[in-house]
Amino acid sequence: MKDELHRTWSTEAEPRLDSPEEVARRLRELAAKAKDHAKDSAGLAEAADHAADVVVWTHRHVDPFAIESPSLRYTDYLAGIKQAEENLLGAQWNISSARSYVQVVSSGTAVFASGSIADRIVLAPAGDPVFKLQVPEGNADARRTRLAEKLDRLLPGLGMPARLHGAWTTFYGGSQDSLAQAAHSMREILTVLLDELAPVKEVKAAPWWKEVPDTAQGVSKRQKIKFFLVGDRDLEDLRVDAIDKLVDEAYRSHGAAVKAAHYSIAAGQVAVRNTLVALEQVLEEMVDTRTALRTSP
């Protein structure tokens, strides 16, 4: 089904070297190689277990009656096993590094994928393969732990980790209402972050602030994001615009996800999960960018 959907979305007969199709092809090649390594690892485990059984059995039933001594001393066996363990650890480290980079690929595209996936789900007929599409999370548990700690440091005493945990707890409630509420809860974390650390009064006091028509109290969302990132410094940085676009995309995804949750539970589960993941990634990107820009000269 994934291959069929991939062919539907592909627009080029032969992927360019710099195309997303080429990235996907290389990732699938990597997945195939990883599966081969998994088979090899399973074979290694079986061989090691079998060898352990042979050593124990031989020691008990053969050694006492053997005419000749074993061809190798046990210290030689132990040295060889140590080398084998080191080789295995090296392979594990390499695999771990490869996995980390694949997660970078996933997280780098997740935010922008989320909104379009959610919109497609709203319009998709029941049973359409789009219902199964999910934005890759990367290492979700590690990200949530990091994000909870960062939010708590920025806003101590406001229970930000509990809010983050509560959004996912609500998501797993399983009903249309709980799905919609989970999306609102995650967006509320972003709202609190901007309201607390970029309040309208302080934004207006910044020397770079200019009133923006048709906005609440003359302050735009972009201005609040800029103040959150750089404070009252008149610093223009491409990352301010990038974050603004990320937030816009996350908000758009949020609206589509809530609609999907009321469209059907099946659609809502995928769309809301995508939105929660996207908003988490936006939040961490905002916090990290704030740290980088506020400590820059």
pLDDT, tens digit (0-9, with 9 covering 90-100), for 154-199:
999 999 999 999 999 999 987 888 988 999 999 999 999 999 999 9
Q: Which residue bears the tokens 């059995």?
A: 57
Q: Which residue bears the tokens 């207006």?
A: 204
Q: What percent of the chain has pLDDT over 70?
A: 80
Mean pLDDT, the chain, integer: 80
Cα(210)–Cα(219) distance, integer angstroms: 8
Q: Is the pLDDT of residue 114 over 60?
A: yes
Please list the alpha-helical segments (H only) found in the chain: 2-9, 20-61, 74-123, 140-154, 160-171, 176-197, 200-205, 221-230, 238-263, 265-294
What does the pLDDT read at residue 155?
A: 95
Contacts made by residues 231-238, CB under 8 angstroms, sequence distance 24+: 231/206, 231/294, 232/202, 232/205, 232/206, 232/207, 232/208, 234/207, 234/208, 235/293, 235/296, 237/293
Tell me the CA distances in angstroms from 229 to 54, 153, 239, 295, one per residue in order: 64, 15, 9, 10
pLDDT, tens digit (0-9, with 9 covering 90-100), for 214-234:
887 999 988 999 999 888 888
Residues recorded for the chain: 297
Helix or strand holding residue 129 (H, E): none
Which structure tokens are listed for 211?
């009133």
Q: Give the model's confidence band at 115: pLDDT under 50 very low, under 70 low, under 90 confident, else very high.
A: low
Tell me the CA distances in angstroms from 190 to 9, 269, 277, one per residue in order: 33, 21, 13
Tell me the CA distances in angstroms from 145 to 212, 238, 280, one per residue in order: 37, 28, 11
| Domain assignments of the chain as residue spans, ordered by start | 2-111, 113-294
Which structure tokens are listed for 57?
């059995």
CA 138 to chain centre: 3
Residue 99: CA count within 13 A, CB half-sphere: 11
The most confident of 75-84, 86-95, 201-210, by mean pLDDT: 201-210
pLDDT, tens digit (0-9, with 9 covering 90-100), for 228-287:
988 888 877 777 888 888 788 778 778 888 888 877 787 788 888 888 888 888 888 889
DSSP character for 71? Answer: S
Q: Is this structure's pTM higher than 0.85?
A: no
**CB–CB of 271/138 below 8 Å?**
no
